[in-house]
Chain A
Amino acid sequence: MTPQIHAEGLRKRYGDAYALDGFDLSVPAGTLCGLLGPNGAGKTTAVRVLSTLLRHDGGVARVAGFDVATEPAKVRSAIGLVGQQAAVDEILSGRQNLILFGRLHHLGRAEATRRADDLLERFDLADTGSKPVSAYSGGMRRRLDLAASLLAAPQVLFLDEPTTGLDPRSRLEVWRAVRSLVADGTTVLLTTQYLEEADRLADRISLVEHGRVIAEGSPAELKGSLGATRIELVLTDPDALGSAAGLLARVTGAEPVTEELRVSAAAEPSMLADVVRELAAAELSFADVALRHPTLDEVFLELTGVAR
């Protein structure tokens, strides 16, 4: 199957600096790809090039089968875009906004109205549909923005940090909406700074730094690339650190790392029961004992070399 989003060697220069510098990406139809990276890595530039808002200086990009440079109008008919701000008219009502954008999608008045009402219902905005957007909460605006991007049932949806600045409940609502879109076959490219968001939503993640993709894989693969699981102990008494470290080393056969009241070592999940048994036998008091997977944060920091 040909990818719905395909970029090869994309370059975008601003003055002397390259915002995109050999950016490669391939997103199969019906999947969600997360672009993860720090501020200024080039995520937003990539989305703006792929959604025809910016012209690139080199490389090729195809979206929904069309070249973004030579067939921008066809690309625009196939995509939806949710930018970093809620791009809606504050003075008009939510319903008026959706009808406006629907008509600009050339839906026709009756069809635009019908789609607007469907989407208001779906995004839980039916009750507030006739109120001006200026009275909406941040989460409601975001949902309206997302609804506006879905008016023409796009094949490809670009979401540029869709949950930045949202409270946890609104974030969950957006996540649920995005998941159901992907389940319905929409291809989604989502940029985020939140590792948890990428972890929860993405089929594949591309880590972006300095305008190119530095690592790519499923969330599990990326986390697996950092090695095994770890067992971590949190003690209550600093004097017991030495004996706890010895105990961990004996059970896991790995070199333990201590940090304040914590001591951890690479381990197989099955070793956890042994550790707990040994702790009880040694009568060491502890606050917590846990089996931990590497987080995407650790993967990210490891690959980008920010912290180490």
Chain B
Amino acid sequence: MRWAIEDGWTLTQRYLAQLARRPARLVGVVAFPILMVLIFAYLLGGGMSVPGGGSYREFLMPGMFAMTMAFGLSGTMIAVVDDTGKGVTDRFRSLPMAPSAVFTGRVAADLVNAALALAVLIGCGLAVGWRPHGSLGETLAALGLLLLLRTALVWAGIYLGLLTSDPSMVSLAQTLEFPFGFLSGAFVATSTMPAWLGTVAEWNPLSSTVTATRVLFGNPGAAGTSWVSSHAVPMAVVWPLVLLAVFVPLSVRRYGRLGN
């Protein structure tokens, strides 16, 4: 147990050292969401209406936060495929280290990344006029839900990364992030979509986190009519837990049998 924690910390430090040597990586992590905020707030936002009224930028930011968490999945996958492809994963597997550290180190490193990206986005949101209107507790709970979603998707990314050694699969995952991100209530209200598509979008785990954070931040557009959107806050906990229940055992199993 002691080694599980120490080895996990050692691998987290490895990531922090990488970040210190390649700070440009962070620019990539945050530049895309910032551009998206600017595009949606200034280029497309004029044509958007928020159901029940309210500022589109206030409506948009929770969607941007959640989408940034979701789009981290391919970043995790890239890191895992890279380590496996270069033989670094094999080296870890031949060391007397705690095997769990490979996972906890990755999760911790990617959460550091996510927290930094979130901090930059919050700054960006404040600059375009977004405000959290809830209590401090509600605001922290909203941030917690975002990081919970990210944690679940780190595990999904680890599993997908262990599944393939083919870098082109990463491109595929990056492409599939778009329908996952956009087929949700992140950018437009699901009530504006065709009925069946709106239902699919509402059941997207991302939508639960988006709606839940809108509720907790006191941002507009949170009022839902369907069961899943009116139970957004509990669902924003349930969905990541379901994902974790699936991907944690899958990843651990896959890691143990790598190459067999």
The interface of chain A, by Cβ under 8 A from chain B, is 48, 51-55, 73, 76-77, 79, 81, 83-93, 96, 100-101, 103-106, 132, 148, 152
B101 contacts which chain A residues (CB < 8 A)? 104
Q: Give the one of A51, A83, A89, A104 with max B CB within 10 A.
A: A104
B11 contacts which chain A residues (CB < 8 A)? 104
Q: How far is the CA of A101 from the CA of B97 in the complex (A)?
A: 10
Given contacts A84-B87, A88-B88, A132-B21, contact A54 B94 (CB under 8 A): no
Are A91 and B21 interface neighbours, CB within 8 A? yes
A84 contacts which chain B residues (CB < 8 A)? 87
Q: Is the interface of B mostly helix, strand, loop or mixed?
A: helix
| CB contact list, B1-32 vs A, under 8 A | 3, 6-7, 10-11, 13-14, 17-18, 21-22
B87 contacts which chain A residues (CB < 8 A)? 83-87
By Cβ-Cβ distance, the 4 closest A-B pairs, closest first, are: A87-B87, A85-B87, A87-B91, A104-B97
Are A76 and B96 interface neighbours, CB within 8 A? yes
Residue of A nearest to B95 (CB): A104
Residue of A nearest to B99 (CB): A73
Q: Which of B17, B86, B95, B257 contacts A76 (CB 8 A)?
A: B95
B46 in the interface, Cβ–Cβ < 8 Å? Answer: no
Residue of A nearest to B21 (CB): A91
B226 in the interface, Cβ–Cβ < 8 Å? Answer: no
The interface of chain B, by Cβ under 8 A from chain A, is 3, 6-7, 10-11, 13-14, 17-18, 21-22, 86-88, 90-97, 101, 257-260
Q: Which of B14, B90, B258, B260 contacts A83 (CB 8 A)?
A: B90
Q: Is the interface of A mostly helix, strand, loop or mixed?
A: loop
A105 contacts which chain B residues (CB < 8 A)? 95-97
A73 contacts which chain B residues (CB < 8 A)? 96
- Distance to closest chain A CB from B112 (angstroms): 16
Are A92 and B14 interface neighbours, CB within 8 A? yes
A48 contacts which chain B residues (CB < 8 A)? 259
Residue of B nearest to A76 (CB): B96
A89 contacts which chain B residues (CB < 8 A)? 14, 18, 88
Q: How far is the CA of A175 from the CA of B37 in the complex (A)?
A: 57
Are B94 and A104 interface neighbours, CB within 8 A? no
Q: How far is the CA of A50 from the CA of B260 in the complex (A)?
A: 14
- Distance to closest chain A CB from B52 (angstroms): 48
B260 contacts which chain A residues (CB < 8 A)? 54-55
Q: How far is the CA of A88 from the CA of B93 in the complex (A)?
A: 14
Residue of B nearest to A85 (CB): B87
Are A104 and B21 interface neighbours, CB within 8 A? no
Q: How far is the CA of A76 from the CA of B92 in the complex (A)?
A: 10
Q: How far is the CA of A152 from the CA of B86 in the complex (A)?
A: 22
Are B88 and A87 interface neighbours, CB within 8 A? yes
Are A52 and B97 interface neighbours, CB within 8 A? no
Residue of A nearest to B87 (CB): A87
B94 contacts which chain A residues (CB < 8 A)? 51-53, 76, 79, 81
Residue of A nearest to B94 (CB): A81
B14 contacts which chain A residues (CB < 8 A)? 89, 92, 100
Q: Which of B10, B18, B257, B259 contacts A104 (CB 8 A)?
A: B10
Given contacts A48-B259, A54-B259, A106-B97, contact A81 B86 (CB under 8 A): no
Are A83 and B91 interface neighbours, CB within 8 A? yes
Residue of B nearest to A93 (CB): B21
Q: How far is the CA of A90 from the CA of B17 in the complex (A)?
A: 12
Q: How far is the CA of A202 from the CA of B73 in the complex (A)?
A: 47
Q: How far is the CA of A83 from the CA of B17 in the complex (A)?
A: 24
Are B86 and A85 interface neighbours, CB within 8 A? yes
Residue of A nearest to B101 (CB): A104
Q: Which of A54, A83, A91, A103 contacts B22 (CB 8 A)?
A: A91
A103 contacts which chain B residues (CB < 8 A)? 6-7, 10
Q: Which of A77, A87, A101, A106 contacts B90 (CB 8 A)?
A: A87
B86 contacts which chain A residues (CB < 8 A)? 85-88, 90
Are B96 and A77 interface neighbours, CB within 8 A? yes
- Distance to closest chain A CB from B1 (angstroms): 14
Q: Which of A53, A106, A148 contacts B259 (CB 8 A)?
A: A53
